[in-house]
């Protein structure tokens, strides 16, 4: 069975040594009770439930999948009990507002726990992750009455959440949705319509499911400015908070998918279902967007978590499996062959996994730190700066974590040779489970457009320059003693990114297709540069005399020599213009 040990040492290094959380958490008004010791204890306990309760259900869950029978969804064996354990131990409310029964832990910490969850059991994790997302939207925009009624039960996990956006004819372009909301005589609204691809839309884990549904009011303007957000419980909630009657919410079917098979992906039918408006009429998309940065980071963590467990198992296999001899002569002379870890190309695959995983973990913590600062810093300017970074970096995090996470899982499968293709070895499931993270929560193509268009071009690079300044000042302030080439390479690639940024902004005025033509390659270039910055941050605080420090230094060196050269290729493609994409006609395809 696949092995997994939560990478606690690396997480502690990132929190304490790289980002100095003790001081940070003291500064923020929202986290003053959080100490590094408490963080350690939470991560250690979190590791236990992941390793002991959730990991053992991962493959059986994949093999069994969710079952659908006449509107009822049954999750795989063991999921209900594991969910009970999960919520009874308070994990659902870990990041929730203390005012409504949450535990108020910072995103930096909950993000690390999420990474572990995705490593151990990606399908399972999606149920609580969607609840967390729904809680964020309710918390940010719902009335006090709705918050008091729903949030405590959702933080407890007794009720779960689901996000109902997509319809059969529209995924990315939500302006096209057809689901209707009409005011109800008894107050509230009647919601009617069909939603697809609803993760956890129906399941047998929680007592109720709170759907957040995008729909159009009768007087709604056309397009995305006419979308409102509604809270629609599966089972109506009485005034005293007890469960009442059913609510015209039903599951029509579940999808048969490539991966995340133990996560139910539902067609949801709303037939005059009673719901409550969240936020203002026609401002539903904006309400969704406030929690989107958290959700997109979470889906990014799916890529990191799956990459991590794939790495751990590929490494274990490479140490055990003997084939061939080292190029420099036999290393394990008592055996019929050497372990495959002697072969440079096997090391290339493992080091690529390691370099991406650790760079990503650090960047996830960095992005989560901006979310925490944006929420809890006493200085408004600091909050605004952090918010700007969050806006800029979230699409990079979501897309780059999941694109590279998928690549990392493919490499981890490759290390096992033929065994990587066989289900019982587990590695192929990570590939299948990682694949969806590049697609949902906004495809990675949409993330790239968001980055290049909304976050870079539309503000003439203002957010970018804030990031540029920070990295530039940091690069100048350090010697990177254990790896002196870092300074030059970080600065060189930061300038390359700046140059591409400015050129695209300049060209975009003449040609509206420039943004979409450059976006994907620009995101990749940005991601590589951001990881370089993270490796630089790690190298600047590492202790070279330790095994852990040596591991970091050698992995960083590999990253600089064998991964970072891709940056210039991305830059060439960013600057290649739109013509070679747009010239071909529909018939010539």
Minimum separation from the CB atom of position 272 to its own copies (A): 25
The CA-CA-CA angle for residues 222, 224, 230, to 5°, reads 100
What DSSP string runs through 170-200?
Answer: BSS-GGG---EEEE-TTSSEEEEEEEEEEET
Residues 374-413 that bind its own copies (CB under 8 A): 406, 410, 413
Identify the residue among 84, 98, 172, 238 touching its own copies (CB under 8 A): 172
What DSSP string runs through 480-524?
Answer: -TT-THHHHHHHHHHHHHHHHHHHHHHHHTT-TTHHHHHHHHHHH
Stretch that binds its own copies, among 54-62, 277-285, 474-482, 573-581 (CB under 8 A): 573-581
Q: Give 165 or 371: the residue with its C-beta nearer to its own copies.
A: 165
Stretch that binds its own copies, among 20-28, 230-238, 273-281, 564-572 (CB under 8 A): 564-572
Q: Which residues are bridge partners to 170 per DSSP?
A: 167
Stretch that binds its own copies, among 17-25, 46-54, 123-131, 170-178 (CB under 8 A): 170-178
HEC letters along 452-465: HHHHHHCCCCHHHH
Residues 243-272 that bind its own copies (CB under 8 A): 255-259
Catalytic annotation, pick one of 441, 502, 587, 588: 441
Identify the residue among 239, 334, 510, 583 touching its own copies (CB under 8 A): 583
Interaction of residue 589 with its own copies, rule CB under 8 A? yes
Q: Give 41 or 581: the residue with its C-beta nearer to its own copies.
A: 581
Residues 183-242 that bind its own copies (CB under 8 A): 196-197
DSSP, collapsed to helix, strand or coil, labels residue 507 as: helix
Residues 49-68 that bind its own copies (CB under 8 A): none
Minimum separation from the CB atom of position 43 to its own copies (A): 22
Please give the Cα distance from 430 to 4 (Å, whole number): 13
Spatial CB neighbours of 218, under 8 Å, sequence gap ≥ 6: 180, 182, 183
Q: Give 112 or 518: the residue with its C-beta nearer to its own copies.
A: 518
Q: Give 149 or 352: the residue with its C-beta nearer to its own copies.
A: 352
Strand 189-199 versus strand 265-278 pairing type: antiparallel
Minimum separation from the CB atom of position 177 to its own copies (A): 11
Minimum separation from the CB atom of position 446 to its own copies (A): 9
Please give the Cα distance from 105 to 111 (Å, whole number): 10
Residues 312-351 that bind its own copies (CB under 8 A): 315, 319, 322-324, 327-328, 336-337, 341, 343-351
Minimum separation from the CB atom of position 30 to its own copies (A): 35
Stretch that binds its own copies, among 29-37, 89-97, 391-399, 552-560 (CB under 8 A): 552-560
Please give the Cα distance from 30 to 101 (Å, whole number): 15
Select from 50, 61, 59, 76 the least CA-distant residue to 428.
59
Select from 97, 106, 163 the least CA-distant residue to 129.
163
The CA-CA-CA angle for residues 573, 574, 578, to 5°, reads 90
Cβ–Cβ < 8 Å for 224, 87: no
3: which DSSP letter? -
Interaction of residue 4 with its own copies, rule CB under 8 A? no
Q: Give 272 or 566: the residue with its C-beta nearer to its own copies.
A: 566
Contact string 499-528 vs its own copies (x = CB under 8 A):
-------------xx-xxx-xxx-------
Q: Give 278 or 416: the residue with its C-beta nearer to its own copies.
A: 416
Q: Give 32 or 172: the residue with its C-beta nearer to its own copies.
A: 172
Minimum separation from the CB atom of position 343 to its own copies (A): 6
Residues 416-455 that bind its own copies (CB under 8 A): 417-418, 420-424, 428, 431-432, 435-436, 438-440, 443-445, 448-449
Number of residues that make up the chain: 589
Spatial CB neighbours of 278, under 8 Å, sequence gap ≥ 6: 137, 138, 141, 142, 146, 212, 229, 230, 231, 284, 287
53 flagged as catalytic: no
Long-range contacts of 240-243 (CB under 8 A, 24+ apart): 241/149, 241/153, 243/207, 243/208
Minimum separation from the CB atom of position 215 to its own copies (A): 17
Q: Which residues are bridge partners to 212 per DSSP?
A: 163, 231
Tokens 């960013």 sit at which residue?
574
Q: Give 140 or 439: the residue with its C-beta nearer to its own copies.
A: 439
Cβ–Cβ < 8 Å for 236, 274: yes
Minimum separation from the CB atom of position 547 to its own copies (A): 6
Interaction of residue 363 with its own copies, rule CB under 8 A? no
Please give the Cα distance from 101 to 39 (Å, whole number): 19
Minimum separation from the CB atom of position 64 to its own copies (A): 13
Q: Give 424 or 499: the residue with its C-beta nearer to its own copies.
A: 424
Tokens 């990459």 sit at which residue?
307
Residues 455-494 that bind its own copies (CB under 8 A): none
- Catalytically active residues, by annotation: 441
């Amino acid at each position: 069975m696949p092995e997994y040990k939560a990478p606690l040492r690396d997480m502690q290094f990132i929190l304490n040594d790289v980002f100095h959380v003790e001081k940070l958490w003291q500064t923020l008004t929202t986290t003053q009770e959080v100490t590094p010791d408490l963080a350690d204890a939470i991560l250690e306990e979190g590791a236990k439930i992941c390793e002991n309760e959730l990991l053992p259900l991962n493959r059986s869950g994949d093999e069994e999948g969710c079952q659908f029978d006449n509107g009822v969804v049954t999750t795989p064996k063991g999921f209900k009990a594991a969910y009970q354990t999960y919520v009874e131990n308070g994990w659902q409310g870990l990041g929730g507002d203390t005012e409504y029964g949450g535990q108020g832990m910072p995103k930096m910490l909950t993000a690390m726990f999420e990474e572990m969850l995705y490593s151990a059991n990606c399908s399972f994790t999606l149920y609580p992750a969607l609840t967390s997302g729904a809680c964020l939207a309710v918390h940010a925009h719902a009335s006090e009455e709705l918050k008091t009624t729903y949030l405590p039960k959702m933080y407890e996990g007794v009720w779960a959440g689901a996000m109902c956006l997509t319809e059969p004819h529209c995924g990315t372009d939500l302006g096209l949705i057809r689901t209707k909301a009409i005011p109800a005589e008894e107050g509230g609204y009647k919601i009617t319509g069909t939603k697809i691809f609803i993760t956890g839309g129906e399941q047998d884990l929680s007592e109720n499911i709170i759907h957040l549904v995008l729909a159009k009011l009768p007087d709604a303007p056309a397009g995305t400015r006419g979308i409102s957000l509604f809270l629609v419980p599966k089972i109506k909630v009485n005034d005293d908070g007890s469960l009442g009657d059913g609510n015209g919410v039903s599951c029509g079917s579940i999808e048969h998918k490539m991966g995340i098979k133990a996560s139910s992906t539902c067609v949801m039918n709303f037939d005059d279902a009673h719901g409550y408006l969240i936020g203002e009429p026609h401002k539903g998309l904006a309400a969704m967007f406030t929690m989107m940065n958290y959700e997109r980071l979470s889906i990014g963590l799916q890529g990191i978590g799956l990459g991590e467990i794939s790495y751990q198992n590929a490494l274990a296999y490479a140490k055990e499996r003997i084939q061939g001899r080292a190029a420099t002569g036999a290393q394990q002379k008592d055996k019929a062959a050497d372990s495959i870890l002697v072969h440079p190309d096997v090391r290339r695959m493992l080091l690529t996994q390691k370099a991406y995983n650790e760079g990503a973990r650090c960047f996830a913590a960095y992005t989560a730190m901006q979310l925490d600062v944006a929420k809890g810093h006493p200085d408004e300017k600091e909050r605004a700066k952090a918010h700007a970074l969050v806006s800029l970096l979230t699409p990079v995090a979501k897309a780059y974590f999941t694109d590279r996470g998928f690549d990392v899982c493919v490499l981890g499968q490759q290390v096992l040779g033929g065994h990587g293709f066989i289900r019982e070895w587990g590695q192929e499931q990570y590939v299948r489970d990682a694949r969806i993270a590049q697609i949902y929560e906004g495809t990675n193509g949409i993330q790239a457009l968001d980055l290049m268009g909304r976050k870079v071009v539309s503000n003439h690079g203002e957010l970018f320059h804030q990031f540029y300044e920070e990295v530039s000042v940091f690069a100048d302030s350090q010697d990177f003693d254990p790896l002196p080439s870092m300074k030059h390479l970080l600065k060189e690639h930061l300038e390359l990114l700046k140059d591409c940024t400015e050129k695209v902004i300049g060209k975009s005025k003449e040609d509206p297709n420039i943004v979409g033509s450059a976006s994907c390659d620009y995101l990749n270039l940005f991601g590589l540069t951001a990881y370089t910055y993270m490796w630089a941050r790690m190298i600047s605080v590492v202790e070279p005399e330790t095994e852990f420090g040596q591991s970091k230094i050698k992995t960083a060196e590999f990253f600089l020599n064998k991964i970072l050269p891709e940056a210039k290729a991305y830059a060439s493609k960013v600057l290649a213009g739109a013509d070679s994409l747009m010239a071909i006609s529909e018939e010539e395809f």
